[in-house]
Amino acid sequence: MNLSKFGEKFTNYSGILQLMDDLGDALSGRERMLMMGGGNPAQIPAVQARFKAMMQEILDSPGEFERMVGNYSNPQGDAAFLEALAGFFRRECGWDVSSKNIALTNGSQTAFFSLFNMFAGDFAAGPRRKILFPLAPEYIGYADVGLNNDFLIANKPEIEYIDAHTFKYHINFRTLTITDDIGAICISRPTNPTGNVLTEQEVTALADLARRHNIPLIIDNAYGTPFPNIIFINDVKPVWNETIILSMSLSKLGLPAARTGIVLAREAVITAVSRINAISGLAPGSIGAALVRRLVESGEIATLSNTHIRPFYRRRAEMAAEQLKAELDGYDFYIHKPEGAIFLWLWFKNMPITSQELYERLKARKALVVPSHYFFPGLQEEWRHKDECIRVTYCQDEAIVREGLHIIAEEVKKAYA
Ligand SMILES: Cc1ncc(COP(=O)(O)O)c(C=O)c1O
């Protein structure tokens, strides 16, 4: 095939493709794989029961199913759902927003494709701009969305050792500079892959920096508050203001197949995202919107998050961390302090093999993880640490997680030996 630059760039074998391929194969059930890799959320029975009940209400309500599957929405997204979300954000978060501040996308991954390319790349005037990640490592899904190369830049973190097997990254504000070629700042909070939750002070400092430079701060709230609220530390408040573009998703509530992303931003940004929706996909899907609209209207989406989703992942994170610490006691190994999201980020300091090699050895034993080098988009400098970590999820059945962690521990011991 003779491909354009776009064709070449987007048909390349990317990290996100490897991850989603592994995930699809493992979950298809064709071969027994221990899925500790991709970002598939857990299927939590009490939450699924509510989604089923919502689907039943749709089926029982005259004409609703037909509208849900039979009509395109506006490019901005299902109007009733946008109204429900605006009401929810006003009531629950105290934000002065209306439906004009919200657009839906086909999954929040699609929102990042639109937003990153809106704020970075070639401009009519001035230098080519980039997206800045103030804290590497960051989400693998950002790495390849730019229409240009040389699109991302990341700031190397500071490392705090918390105890014998726990560490935490912090933003190094001394090295964080906003030059003229930065088009937007982006963080995921909680961070995928590490489970870091940036403090309110850190977020405020980033928002101030962004405002002073007249660029947006994009906060990827896929795991954040007010829903699905997969945050294990206390008193984390939702943050939004007109400098911030807040991206949310229904995926980690347990609805990844509904492909529903939510963007909350000032009106001009929402108009722009809606226009890109129209060109790239006519309109975002409405099935996720229809399924959770009632839960948003009643506020139950927050209760479900707090009473079922957050405790489930917190327990799993504790269980997984305990098992690894017990099995790898005596090794120079650290877990990033699990403050949220659905992963553990494991650092095998000075491990004689790279995490890509470890990934391959684990895959040969039917345990899938994600090696760390994919999670440093924009961080050009050589740094051994980039090849010393892996990301594991603990979302599958407990027996699978335990078996997978045991295999990881065995292979890590072999690698050090
Ligand atoms: C941090 C983060 N952002 C965005 C996404 C994209 O999710 P979706 O497109 O399903 O909304 C994910 C998925 O794993 C994620 O982990």
pLDDT one digit per residue (tens) for the chain, 417 residues: 899 989 988 888 777 787 777 777 777 767 788 888 878 899 999 999 999 999 999 999 999 999 999 999 999 999 999 999 999 999 999 999 999 999 999 999 999 999 999 999 999 999 999 999 999 999 999 999 999 888 999 999 999 999 999 999 999 999 999 999 999 999 999 999 999 999 999 999 999 999 999 999 999 999 999 999 999 999 899 999 999 999 999 999 999 999 999 999 999 999 999 999 999 999 999 999 999 999 999 999 999 999 999 999 999 999 999 999 999 999 999 999 999 999 999 999 999 999 999 999 999 999 999 999 999 999 999 999 999 999 999 998 899 999 999 999 999 999 999
Ligand 1 centroid, distance to 249 Cα (angstroms)? 7
Measuring CA to CA, which residue among 382, 35, 93 is closest to residue 236?
93
Rg (CA), the chain: 21
Ligand 1 pocket, residues with Cβ under 6 angstroms:
39, 107-109, 139, 141, 188, 192, 220, 222, 249, 251, 256, 261
Ligand 1 atom closest to Cα of residue 38: 14
Nearest atom, ligand 1, residue 110 CA: 9
How many angstroms does the Cα of residue 332 sit away from the middle of ligand 1? 31
pLDDT of amino acid 45: 96
Same topology for domains 5-47+304-416 and 69-300, yes or no?
A: no
pLDDT digits (tens, 9 = 90+) for 25-74: 777 767 788 888 878 899 999 999 999 999 999 999 999 999 999 999 99
pTM beyond 0.85, yes or no: yes
Q: Kindly report the protein residue whose alpha carbon is nearest to atom 15 of ligand 1.
A: 222
Q: 204 CA distance to ligand 1 centroid (A)?
A: 23
Domain spanning 5-47+304-416 has what CATH number? 3.90.1150.10
| 182-236: pLDDT as tens digits | 999 999 999 999 999 999 999 999 999 999 999 999 999 999 999 999 999 998 9
Q: Indicate the domain borders of the chain.
A: 5-47+304-416, 69-300
- From CA 253, how far away is CA 237, in angstroms rounded? 18
CATH code of the region 69-300: 3.40.640.10
Burial class (CB in 10 A: 0-12, 13-18, 19+), 117: middle
Q: Which of ligand 1's atoms lies nearest the C-alpha of 249?
A: 11
